[in-house]
Structures are given as C-alpha cells and as structure tokens.
Amino acid sequence: MRIGLIGLGRIGAFHADTLAGLDHVDELVVTDPVAAAVEAVTGRIGKATAVVDPDALLASGVDGVVIAAATNAHADLIRAAVAKGVPTFCEKPVAGTIAESLAVEAAVAGSDVPVQIGYPRRFDPAFVAARDAVRSGELGRVTTVRSTTLDPAPPPAAYLAVSGGIFRDCSVHDLDAVRWVTGQEVVEVYATGAVDPDAPAEMYAAHGDHSTVSALLTLSDGTIGVVSNTRTNGRGYDVRLEVHGVADAVAAGLDEGLPLRSTTPGATWLAGPAHGFFMDRLAEAFRIELGVFTRVAAGEVDNPCTVADAMGTAWAAEAATLSLAEHRPVTINEVRSAASGA
C-alpha cells in the first residue's frame, strides 16, 4: 500500500514514523515546503520518497493520503484529494473557519471518497472502554462527564496566531470526546477563560486568544459536560475523561504518567514519570487511528469520523468561542443560524 503524507511538521513527522511502522504500508510519498523537514523524514525512513508538492503527490497513484499540513490548508487539500478520488485522512479541524468547513462538508457530501477527520481519543483504549461502559448501561443514567487537556507548555506564537483560538485548536479534542463517549450532541455552551499574565502579547492577547479556558456544556439528553484546558500545566501533559452515572463512574487517563500529585497523607498514588507531550500520552491511539485509516482507504471498514460527524465538534467550538467573547451562554442553534445567515 502506498500512502501519501502532506505536511512534515511536528505531527506530520510523527505520523511518518507511525505509518512507516505499519506492516501493510509499503511506501510513503511525502511532501513539505520546508526542505529540511523532507530530508529529515526521507533520511531516517527508507520507504519514504519525496515529491515536490501536494499536486504531484495526489497524481502519484497513492492509495490514500494523510493531511498534516497547517489548518488553513486543510480545506483546499481535502477538496483536491477527493477530486482525485484519493481516500483522505485529515488532522482536525476540517478547516480554519466554520464557513470553510461547511464548504468542505458540502463538497464531499455526494462523494464516495472517504474523508476521515483525525480525533485520536476515539482510538485510545481507555476512552474506548469509557464509551463501552456508557453504551452498555453499566453506569446507569449519565449525569456528568468531564474532559481535560492540560498542555505543559504552549506551542510557538506563530502557531497560536493562526490556530483559530484555544477552543478550535485544543478544546475540540475534549468536545469531540464528550460527544463520542456519551453519544449525545452539545446543545449549549457557557465558557470562560484567562490569559497568562506573564506571556508576551503576541502569544494570546494580540489575537484574542486565551491560555486557560473552561466550558460548561449542556448535552442533548440533559447531561452536564465540563471541559478544562490550559497551555501551561507545569507538571506535564494531562489528558483525562471522567464519566459519572447514577450506578457507577469510570475515568480514562489515570495511568502511571498522570501529571498530578496527591496531597492526602498516606495515600497510595500513581508514581510514574509524568507524560511530557501528547505524542507520548497518545502514541498508541495515533497508531490505531492511522491503522484504521489504511483499512478505510482499502474499503475494509467504515469511516469512523466523517466530515459530517466532525462538524458536531466544530459547532461546539464555535459556540464556546462566542460564549467566551461575549460572556454568555450560547446555543448550537444560534451559531448555526448565524453561519447560514438566518
């Protein structure tokens, strides 16, 4: 199987190694505008060959393509790949704006070419087990779900400036996890946030972003969701999910790398070195996710995260962003209506 990879930055280079490690991937065809990034990947991965640009890659006869380019390139690359009939995996989000995302959704709606959007927590074994616990009914009626992404350090300022803000860039993973695990949609969001007072203006304030946010969610069945995120969690990378029901409760992410210190005297607590980065905490999830994509591309399994599905998460992020800006609850219907011009 020949798989194309567009974009060899931080996540793209990681995906190159993951794809190269899959037994049924015989060749990687890669491209990136930064020559050093291309040389680094082709230098360490024997099955990787480079082409000059995405057009050349899509014309090279690949069996599928992984898009790990900058967010503002997603929409055009997805449309180009679908037009060429190439099964596509694209890192979240679908596109840089909700208008572009809607355009992509419309463009692929009538196509038989699968487009899988990357939300790796759907493939993390602990998150899968939490979802199974909800779906089996063993928790009883779910009352509350909490999801957390706490980064140990922020990305570069240049990345943050074009990220779309923390809700669209980071919190989407939690919003998607809440939707996917519960099987419910977000109907209303009430968000708040803060800016690191020690950060230079170009990190957050210059483009209206925040370093720490929380969002209170109302789900379609009345379940309450709580999402918490920060760019500055000094102890390490913390990804957790709690699901509380009237009969039982479960948590994902309570492993030896949990970056949390107990202050209860005499309590036995997780003692391993803390996770330092998302590629550490979610390495297995990424491997499973890309392995599933190769099977989607081969027509062996159904697409586990379509563009239409991912739009549910995008709408929640839009509502959270507006809520934070205007300090009020925002419904999904409101942002949908605004986007349609109604």
pLDDT by residue (tens digit) across 159-198?
888 888 999 999 999 999 999 999 999 999 999 999 999 9
CATH hierarchy code of domain 122-278+312-335:
3.30.360.10
How many whole angstroms separate alpha carbon 186 and alpha carbon 4? 34
In contact, 182 and 142? CB cutoff 8 Å: yes
pLDDT at 342: 58
Structure tokens at 179: 């939707």
Average pLDDT of the chain is 95
Q: What is the mean pLDDT of residues 31-44?
A: 96
Q: Is the pLDDT of residue 271 over 80?
A: no
Residue that has been written with the tokens 């399994």 in this structure: 301
User: Which stretches of the chain are DSSP H helices?
Assistant: 10-20, 35-44, 54-58, 74-83, 98-109, 125-136, 157-161, 166, 172-182, 278-281, 283-297, 307-326, 332-340
Longest dimension (CA), the chain: 63
DSSP 104-137: HHHHHHT-SS-EEEE-GGGG-HHHHHHHHHHHHT
Q: pLDDT tens across 289-341, in order?
A: 999 999 999 999 999 999 999 999 999 999 999 999 999 999 999 999 999 87
Q: Is the dihedral of CA 72, 41, 117, 184 positive or negative?
A: negative
pTM for this entry:
0.95
| pLDDT tens digits along 211-232 | 999 999 999 999 999 999 999 9
Q: Please name the CATH architecture into which domain 2-120+287-306 falls.
A: 3-Layer(aba) Sandwich (3.40)
2-120+287-306 and 122-278+312-335, same CATH topology: no
Evaluate whether 113 touches 86 at the Cβ level (below 8 Å). yes
For the chain, the domains span 2-120+287-306, 122-278+312-335
